[in-house]
């Protein structure tokens, strides 16, 4: 299925476990201020393990102005006009890895434990399936991202590798990186004409 068709299901409304309503939709260019406010509300200990300096205005600008859905599909959740979660499906630039998607999810601390992380995980899995990806991956820091390891496990991901001492945590200790994967059924992987 092509990306435009896949994205047609958004925006969609979802009800969390505490009955609060959220809207899940792709990130938009004019989300700059709200996206930055969201990352400022994410505790520093969580931000440390994210890939970018996510509160820097120039990084936010890259996210909102450099949207290339063929590479990264960013879905946010919104509540009362505020962004309360950011999640992304990253597709590899490498042709030989075009069947792989990597997931990243961050939820506002005030909205955790209400099913939003699981819902976004399921949305990204459905996106991956529609885009005919074959394998989805989470890379998570052992001990420091336990909630995410739990969320991924609940969604059907399995630990496929542990990379020893791959991450220096905030306290200067070495932590293992846990690779968690979900295999998706799909059609044959297409042959690419040279
Ligand atoms: C991981 C994260 C996205 C989960 O979001 P969430 O909205 O709280 O998730 P849910 O409410 O859907 O909970 C998912 C599961 O995790 C469990 N869970 C939530 N917080 C937990 C915690 N601190 N410890 C153990 N389990 C936890 C929930 O009970 C639920 O399991 P269940 O279905 O068996 O009840 C959120 O904790 C977060 O943003 N963490 C910081 C960022 C991060 O580590 N991201 C991963 C890197 S990509």
Give per-residue pLDDT as tens, 157-190: 999 999 999 999 999 999 999 999 999 986 666 6
For residues 86 and 103, the answer to whether their CB atoms sit within 8 Å is no
Rounded CA separation 90/21 (Å): 27
Q: Atom 37 (ligand 1): residue with closest C-alpha?
A: 147
Is the pLDDT reported for residue 192 higher than 80?
no
Query: Any idea which architecture 3-139+147-157 has in CATH?
Result: 3-Layer(aba) Sandwich (3.40)
Rounded CA separation 143/4 (Å): 38
For residues 116 and 85, the answer to whether their CB atoms sit within 8 Å is yes
When pLDDT is cut at 50, 70 and 90, the band that residue 194 belongs to is very low
> Does residue 46 line the site of ligand 1, with CB under 6 A?
yes
Sheet with 72-79: list strands edge to edge. 12-15, 21-26, 72-79, 82-91, 100-107, 135-141, 174-183, 158-168
When pLDDT is cut at 50, 70 and 90, the band that residue 191 belongs to is low
> Does residue 186 line the site of ligand 1, with CB under 6 A?
no
For residues 139 and 177, the answer to whether their CB atoms sit within 8 Å is yes
Closest CA to 83 of 64, 108, 118: 108
Q: Atom 10 (ligand 1): residue with closest C-alpha?
A: 115
- What confidence tens digit (pLDDT) does each residue in 129-151 have? 999 999 999 999 999 999 999 99
Is the pLDDT reported for residue 91 higher than 60?
yes
Q: How far is the CA of 117 from the centre of ligand 1 (A)?
A: 6
> Does residue 136 line the site of ligand 1, with CB under 6 A?
no
> Does residue 144 line the site of ligand 1, with CB under 6 A?
no
For residue 6, the SS3 value is helix
């Amino acid at each position: 299925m092509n990306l435009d068709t896949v994205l047609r299901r958004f925006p969609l409304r979802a009800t969390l476990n505490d009955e609060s309503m959220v809207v899940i939709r792709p990130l938009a260019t004019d989300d700059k201020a709200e996206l930055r406010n969201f990352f400022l509300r994410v505790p520093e200990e969580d931000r440390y393990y994210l890939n970018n300096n996510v509160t820097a205005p120039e990084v936010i600008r890259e996210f909102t102005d450099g949207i290339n859905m063929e590479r990264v599909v960013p879905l946010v959740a919104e509540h009362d006009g505020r962004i309360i979660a950011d999640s992304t499906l990253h597709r590899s630039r490498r042709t030989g890895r075009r069947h792989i998607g990597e997931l990243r999810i961050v939820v506002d601390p005030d909205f955790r434990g209400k099913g939003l992380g699981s819902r976004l995980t399921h949305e990204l899995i459905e996106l991956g399936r529609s885009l005919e990806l074959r394998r989805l991956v989470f890379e998570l820091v052992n001990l420091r991202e336990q909630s995410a390891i739990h969320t991924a496990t609940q969604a059907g991901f399995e630990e496929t590798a542990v990379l020893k001492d791959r991450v220096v945590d905030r306290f200067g200790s070495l932590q293992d990186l846990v690779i968690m994967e979900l295999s998706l059924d799909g059609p044959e992987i297409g042959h690419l004409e040279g």
